[in-house]
Structure 1
Amino acid sequence: MKYAPPVLATEPTNGMTCGIDWAGRDHAVSIIDTRGREIHRSTIEHNAAGLRALLSLLDRRGVDEVAIERPDGPLVQALLAAEVTVVVISPNQLKNLRSRYGSAGNKDDRFDAFVLADTLRTDRTRLRPLVPDTAATTALRTACRARKDLIGHRVALANQLREHLNRAFPGAVGLFADIDSMISLSFLTRFDCQDRADWLTPTRLSTWLASIGYTGGMDPAVLHTRLITAPRGITGEHGAAHARITNALVTTLKALVEQIKTLSDQIAEQLAAHTDAHIFTSLPRSGTVRAAKLLAEIGDCRSRFPTPESLACLAGVAPSTRQSGPMRSVSFRWSCDKHLRDAITDFAADSRRANPWAADLYRRARANKHDHSHATRILARAWLYIIWHCWQDRVAYDPAKHRALQALLHDKPAA
């Protein structure tokens, strides 16, 4: 089944359109009539009373359509709940639209609200109403993005801990594979400075590792050798002062690791309950979190992407082409959904390790002198065409029906 994109009515209801310039504390509101005359301008506060006043204003003026710069947040939720049609005009578009009304191009919230309202009046054939995803998809997206943010904090804090240990206790840095692994954090909790580590012998280290259930497979004697051959750390009172910093960083890092695991478990539960889970978990090496990220960023509103090209462009994996006279250039697409691009390129980069078609497409891209990132985007674009069809038809990916893959496996050209 193919889904047609939602469209706006030929004329706005009652000839009225509204533009809202969103801000953190208050929002500029502009209402114009069918001739482009501003008939109302005001500012509303970003609180419950302000949102109620806005909805009351729109109802009194007979306004059913609002243009705004962002697709989410309490303001958008309130508008959608009141059955107001919301049209999203991105900040980049708004920046370019200002030049319609003057050459200065200065930023002014009230003027931007007017530009949004007037663009909604004049450019109706190009604009599309916002169709929100289901609550399940929105909640999954929120969890996935929160997990990604926590991982960013974990990486930053792990780097800070590593840099601190390089000065205070170098032996702990290279002892285990990852500084933020649970075994490393457990070790640093018990042996937070050089003085405490000096108490260890191969036998004592072996006993301690056994007491915490170490399963890394590394010989305790080898670990002890790493510890004593590393540069010595700071000892005495100065070392004790640094140990307190170590404890603070380790405690915070352990809390982050635990919360990331908790969020991962929550994401797994939400994904299992989602009606589209079978589509994304069927992809090669998609796993749980990766499948959840793909589902959350693509969403479940089929009408949002009527063609695979529209999905590829929003994901930033389709190149941007410029042409003027004989000059033609193809370049990286900067304007895109960064979360969606991260999700699809992460999946595509790893899919080549489990799918021969993906591996062959990546290899040929590298053979054409594309770097890793460019080759990954080429592969991601190809995957999006497959994912789009599976998504639209609500079916799982089946390698047996993937003609290009089967042709490669049987060494014959695809039909």
Structure 2
Amino acid sequence: MSIDPNPTAMRVTAGVDWAKDDHAVCVVGDQGEVLDRFTVPHDAAGLKRMAAKLLRAGVEQVGIERGDGPVVQTLMHAGLTVFVIPPGQVKNLRSRYGSAGNKDDRFDAYVLADVVRTDVRRLRPMLVDSEQTIALRGSVRARRDLVTHRVAAANQLRAHLQLVFPAAATLFADIDSPITLTFLGRFTTQQAADWLSPKRLAVWLRSVSYSGGVDPAVLHARLLAAPRGVTGEPAGIHAGTTTALVAVLRTLTAQIQILAASIGEQLNAHPDAPIFTSLPRSGTVRAARLLAEIGDARGRFPTRESLTCLAGVAPSTRQSGKVKTVMFRWGADKQLRDALCDFAGDSRRANPWAADLYAKATARGCDHPHAVRILARAWAHIIWRCWQDNTPYNPATHGALQTLLNQNQPTAARPRG
């Protein structure tokens, strides 16, 4: 039998240290030697040149710290296999090459390339979701960011009113509710609110279609009971701040509603929508968020535990000798964990199995976040199965739920013989 004098070609890998303005690239050979180093700007020409140089060098596999954006798209469109190695792992891997632990873009690019060379069997190639899912993820995250901004703006308005117009801060239930913002648009100062009587307040409430159900006399009593606000010339200056904050809240609320409508349209058009909308109390935005964060690339989560671990709802176990510790999993996709825990925490209000699992966790001494993570892990197993089988959740075929419901059925009285 003849022997091939060159049975294997030289394996070449690369690492890309992603940055805002430019990207450091390192190419290494099969013995870890540096074959090339270069930097490309973050523009169309630079990314095109990067892909061309990698292909000419014979690179097939690339390591990078970030799994989205134009850099990854360029690499994948060039036919390269991309491995995402999170920054936390890269930080730990630096100690393999030296004890200084210094951060350097060129060095990090080498670390990424060399880890792909030596540890490829431990890495999982990146799988990209469909463009439809990526767009939905962008809308969902943008809406969530706006909600966070709205909470901050509402807190700022509340703090401002407590100093200059305390009555307006507590007159209605929510500081950012439409009725509160409408009231502040008409009565910006204490002096303006002093014009109100129970009768005048009732007339004004009818004119703005108030539906809160609180008697105008009660609301007027709240105005009188609150500490007096600033009056005189300074009140007009403070009114400008009030008006500005109200305008910000109105704008944020309007844009959140626009995004929510867009999310609903995108969700209805997505082929995986029936899976996530079938979950209890998933609604529209919550179902869309679950879909967007889990994605539609089935190969990304080959097992249900791969989903629970990335979502951070599976505990991390550490053992040294006879000491075994089970602790919170810090290394996780925080967006995915938040989406899954948000759904799980509310599902117990509509699903007896979820309520029972949560109650058992709290009875064992788990606090609320821990109990929700336990419930989220159980739901992740169910969602993964539905997701892989492309089948909506059906309570009638949920074995644990049906067992619980049957246990709670009253035992029929036996006929006397």
Task: Using structure 1 for the length normalisation, give the TM-score.
Answer: 0.95
State the partner residue of 1:149: 145
1:364 aligns with 2:360: yes
Q: Map Cα deviations across residues 223-263 of structure 1 (whole Å, 9 max, x no partner).
A: 11111211111011111110001001111111001111111
Give the deviation of 1:300 after TM superposition: 0.5
Q: Which residue of 1 aligns with 2:279?
A: 283
1:60 Cα deviation from its structure 2 partner: 2.1
Distance, in Å, in 1 between the alignment partners of 2:278 and 2:406 is 22
Q: Which amino acid aligns with 2:102?
A: N
Distance 1:200 1:81 in 2: 66
Percentage identity across aligned positions? Answer: 62
Corresponding residue number in structure 1 for 2:82: 86
Q: Matched residues in 2 for 1:169 and 1:384: separation?
A: 47
What CA deviation, in whole Å up to 9, does each residue of 1:61-114 have, x standing for no partner?
A: 222221100100111112222222111011111111111111212111101101
Q: How far 1:28 sits from its partner (Å)?
A: 0.6
Match of 1:80, SS? helix
Q: Secondary structure at the match of 1:29?
A: strand
Taking CA–CA contacts closer than 8 Å with sequence separation of 6 or more, which of the two structures ends up with the larger relative contact order? 1
Shift of 1:269: 0.7
List per-residue Cα deviations over 1:368-404 (Å, max 9, x = no partner).
Answer: 0110111110011011111110110011100000111
Letter in structure 2 aligned against 1:103: S
Aligned partner of 2:219 in structure 1 is 223
Secondary structure in 2 matching 1:20: strand
Query: 1:95 aligns to what?
Result: 91
Correspondence list, 1:310-325, <5 A: 310-325=306-321
Please give the alpha-carbon distance, in whole angstroms, between the structure 1 residues aligned to 2:265 and 2:339: 19
The answer for the alignment partner of 1:160 in structure 2 is 156
What amino acid is the match of 2:366? H
TM-aligned CA distance change 1:198 to 1:280, over 3 Å: same
Stretch of structure 1 that moved more, 219-228 or 394-403: 219-228
Partner of 1:380: 376
Query: What's 2:4 paired with?
Result: none
Q: Which residue of 1 is the match for residue 14 of structure 2? A: 18
CA distance in 2, matches of 1:82, 1:169: 61
Instruction: Assess if the C-alpha contact under 8 Å between 1:13 and 1:62 holds in 2.
Output: no
Structure 1 residue corresponding to 2:385, chosen from 389, 396, 412: 389
Q: Aligned runs of 1:122-141 on 2, under 5 Å?
A: 122-141=118-137
Give every structure 1 segment of 4 or more consecutive aligned residues whose post-TM-superposition deviation is greater than 3 Å. Answer: 11-14
Q: Which residue of 1 aligns with 2:342?
A: 346
Cα distance in 1 between the residues matched to 2:10 and 2:174: 63
**Aligned partners of 2:9 and 2:325: how far apart in 1?**
42
| TM-aligned CA distance change 1:13 to 1:149, over 3 Å | farther
Q: Answer yes or no: is the 8 Å Cα contact 1:316–1:335 preserved in 2.
A: yes
Measured after TM superposition, the shift of residue 12 of structure 1 is 10
Q: Which structure has the bigger radius of gyration?
A: 2
Does 47-56 or 67-76 show the bigger shift?
47-56
For 1:77, the equivalent position in structure 2 comes to 73
- Residue matched to 2:209: 213
Which structure 2 segments of 5+ residues have no match?
1-6, 410-417
User: Are positions 1:233 and 2:239 aligned together?
Assistant: no
CA contact (8 A) 1:44 1:51 kept: yes
Of stretches 159-168 and 30-39 in structure 1, the one that deviates more from structure 2 is 30-39
**How many Å separate the matches in 1 of 2:271 and 2:107?**
43
| Counterpart residue number, 1:407 | 403
User: Residue 110 of structure 1 is aligned with which of 106, 112, 133?
Assistant: 106
Q: Distance in 2 between matches of 1:137 and 1:214?
A: 40
1:254 to 235, 250, 254: 250
CA distance in 2, matches of 1:258, 1:351: 28
Over aligned residues, Cα RMSD in angstroms?
Answer: 1.5
